[in-house]
């Protein structure tokens, strides 16, 4: 059994690790899940500047992704609808209406040049074999911008989940520039569907935001929804409005979806109903108001970590400096190699070193002759001559040797040296270079995506979430039928006690002295006799003073107790009298008189006594009560009996 348990534990841990790292949670460095990374890698490999059928891209991507074409197609459509990296042709669905994209064989896509500027640098990217070992794929892209924020992410793994809202491209770039310059910055989500958000509980990406639809209420007889809240479509929003109307929460005559390139949902109101009166109900009962809980869980250093938006910006600011440094060093190394080769070519041709190999009979002799020919010019070389250098020189065509242009070579060498000096300056001021790069990428993004895309779509505004309990009207009659003992909004007979809403809670005091707090019932058997029923909120209960007259079953003495009910657990039964107490009367009046009749006994001359409830102090709910007289009691008679028990 121990072996089986260990086997299950091992397999579960491997599965959990796989789901967390390789499917559901994005990598911090490039902000991508594996399927998204493989889609972009495929597009980089097949990019020729022309559109490709999505079906073809999906097929090519299957070389890297072991989970079939459906997940690849879905990831590609989502990435394409983000607009930043993939240019679309055909119907890729509608983020406003929720309409699905056309089949993969009908739509086309291609990379934007922006994608290569931000992601593609194979010279400094680590690659690993694909799942079948036939190809290579990147471990992560060396992304120059925090794609986790730009693209957003949502995923559920084993024991954890991530929810990263999307952010505005221009604002993310400005935040990175501020971070590099040591300046303060703030960053809030920006949803593609627009709307309004309250970020008072946002907590830098670890809290929650309240998102609302944008409503046009300029016409008092109609409401037009022009922007959607987060995580909704026109279809789900209209469904929620219709559901609220069926439940009697809203009243309108018609609802029409006119959405095309922009959101437009028209709600025409009934006669006597005005726009301003319906706004709160729309926010309370429909998806016009959504609460979005943020949880920025990412894979960092091969481990899942929860981060804030500020931490992600700071991390990527450092990463940007590192990536640009690596790119400059790579370019420097390539330029030095190029400069070395140009120097070798010049000396090889100008000094006619190639003449020394004419009489050589073997490859080794040729190689030695070339290297020996460069010995006098060693001071002009950047490094010693290698076998690869000799191979390069021997491949120079005779035509090129005869037409060799020394001026062209010198101009090229001069250009290389100038660039090398520039690289040295950039490496010494890498922060300034990073800020300049961010400025240039912002200009390119604006040119490629348009000013409208770069503008913020979601309005940040302070407002309070609408509490359903505050908006709902108390218009349901709560009835009690003493003959059947049933209480509820669905009870058709009996007496109407008061009006309630579906969100109210009531306290019920039964004939036995057992009381319960519960949600307003539709039909609940309480007892064929009830002392009290009223609202259970603190304000209502604080006004109710219960006077309980009960008999101690052991001594038969009559007791009195005055108390208020403050604390309780929902749907739990409590007794207002101590164990062994028999309730004779419960009253909610502040002052009243009552008579206690005693059991006749030999030598007992006084058989009754009058008491005033107001003469006794208020005690706690757990008090045992005060003895009225040391005589066995028979019953309690109210001096002025009310027509019926007061039901509040």
Helix (H) or strand (E) holding 423: helix 406-428
DSSP 77-131: HHHHHT-SSEEEES----TTT-PPPPPTTT-EEEE-HHHHHHT--GGG--EEE-T
- Paired tokens of 615: 């003469």
Sheet containing strand 252-257, strands side by side: 214-216, 222-227, 265-269, 252-257
> Do β-strands 153-156 and 297-300 pair in parallel, antiparallel, or remain unpaired?
unpaired
- Paired tokens of 425: 């300056």
Quick check: is 106 catalytic? yes
| Beta bridge pairs of residue 594 | 611, 638
Buried b (16+ CB within 10 A) or exposed e, 49-68: eeebbbbebbebbebbbeee
- The span from the CA of 31 to the CA of 140, in Å, is 9
- The span from the CA of 194 to the CA of 288, in Å, is 12
User: What is the gyration radius of the CA atoms in the chain, in angstroms?
Assistant: 40
> For residues 338 and 382, is the Cβ–Cβ distance under 8 A?
no
φ and ψ of 496, to 5 deg: -80, 120
- Residue 332, classed as helix, strand or coil, is helix
Task: List C-alpha distances in Å: 254 to 199, 282, 475, 576.
Answer: 33, 15, 24, 53
Query: Which of 106, 188, 433, 557 is an active site residue?
Result: 106
> Do β-strands 289-293 and 626-638 pair in parallel, antiparallel, or remain unpaired?
unpaired
- The span from the CA of 536 to the CA of 236, in Å, is 35
Number of C-beta neighbours around residue 261 at 10 A: 7
- The span from the CA of 106 to the CA of 552, in Å, is 86
> For residues 213 and 227, is the Cβ–Cβ distance under 8 A?
yes
Report the catalytic residues.
106
């Amino acid at each position: 059994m121990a072996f089986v348990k260990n086997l299950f534990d091992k397999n579960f841990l491997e599965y959990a690790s796989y789901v967390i790292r390789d499917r559901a949670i994005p990598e911090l460095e490039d902000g991508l899940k594996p399927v998204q990374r493989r889609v972009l890698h495929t597009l980089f490999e097949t990019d020729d500047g022309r559109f490709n059928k999505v079906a073809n891209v999906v097929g090519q991507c299957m070389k890297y992704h072991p989970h079939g074409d459906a997940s690849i197609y879905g990831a590609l459509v989502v990435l394409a609808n983000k607009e930043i990296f993939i240019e679309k042709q055909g119907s890729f669905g509608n983020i406003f209406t929720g309409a699905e994209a056309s089949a993969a064989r009908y739509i086309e896509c291609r990379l934007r040049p922006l994608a290569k500027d931000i992601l593609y640098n194979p010279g400094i990217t680590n690659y690993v074999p694909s799942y079948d070992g036939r190809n290579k794929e990147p471990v992560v892209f060396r992304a120059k911008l925090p794609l986790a924020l730009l693209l957003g992410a949502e995923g559920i793994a084993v024991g954890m989940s991530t929810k990263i809202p999307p952010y505005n491209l221009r604002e993310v770039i400005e935040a990175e520039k501020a971070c590099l310059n040591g300046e303060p910055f703030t960053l809030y989500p920006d949803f593609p569907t627009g709307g309004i958000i309250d970020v008072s509980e946002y907590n830098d990406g670890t809290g929650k935001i309240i998102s609302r639809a944008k409503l046009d209420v300029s016409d008092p007889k109609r409401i037009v929804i022009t922007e959607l809240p987060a995580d909704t479509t026109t279809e789900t929003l209209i469904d929620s409005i219709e559901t609220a109307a069926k439940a009697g929460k809203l009243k309108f005559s018609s609802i029409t979806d006119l959405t095309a390139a922009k959101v437009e949902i028209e709600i025409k109101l009934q006669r006597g109903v005005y726009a301003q009166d319906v706004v709160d109900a729309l926010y309370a009962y429909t998806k016009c108001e959504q609460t979005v809980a943020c949880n920025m869980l990412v894979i960092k250093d091969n481990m899942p970590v929860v981060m804030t938006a500020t931490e992600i910006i700071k991390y990527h600011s450092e990463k940007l400096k590192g990536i640009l440094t690596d790119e400059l060093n790579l370019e420097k190394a390539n330029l030095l190699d190029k400069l070395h080769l140009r120097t070798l070519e010049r000396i090889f041709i100008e000094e006619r070193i190639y003449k020394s190999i004419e009489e050589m009979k073997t490859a080794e002799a040729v190689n030695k002759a070339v290297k020996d020919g460069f010995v006098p010019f060693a001071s002009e070389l950047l490094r010693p001559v290698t076998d690869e250098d000799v191979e390069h020189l021997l491949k120079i065509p005779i035509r090129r040797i005869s037409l060799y242009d020394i001026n062209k070579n010198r101009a090229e060498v001069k250009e290389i040296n100038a660039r090398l000096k520039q690289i040295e300056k950039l490496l010494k001021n890498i922060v300034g270079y990073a800020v300049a790069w961010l400025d240039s990428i912002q200009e390119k993004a604006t040119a490629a995506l348009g000013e409208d895309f770069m503008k913020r779509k979601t309005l940040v505004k302070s407002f309070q979430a609408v509490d359903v309990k505050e908006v709902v009207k108390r218009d349901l009659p709560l009835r009690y039928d003493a003959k059947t003992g049933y209480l509820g909004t669905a009870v058709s007979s009996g007496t109407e006690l008061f009006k309630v809403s579906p969100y109210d809670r009531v306290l019920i005091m039964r004939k036995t002295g057992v009381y319960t707090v519960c949600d307003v019932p539709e039909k609940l058997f309480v007892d064929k006799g009830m002392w009290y029923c009223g609202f259970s909120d603190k304000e209502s209960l604080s006004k109710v003073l219960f006077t309980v007259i009960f008999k101690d079953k052991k001594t038969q003495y009559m007791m009195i107790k005055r108390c208020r009910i403050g604390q309780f657990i929902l749907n739990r039964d409590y007794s207002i009298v101590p164990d062994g107490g028999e309730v004779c009367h419960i009253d909610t009046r502040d002052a009243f008189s009552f008579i206690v009749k005693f059991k006749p006994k030999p030598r007992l001359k006084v058989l009754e006594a009058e008491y005033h409830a107001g003469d006794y102090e208020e005690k706690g709910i757990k008090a045992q009560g005060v003895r009225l007289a040391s005589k066995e009691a028979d019953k309690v008679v109210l001096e002025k009996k009310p027509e019926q028990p007061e039901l509040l």
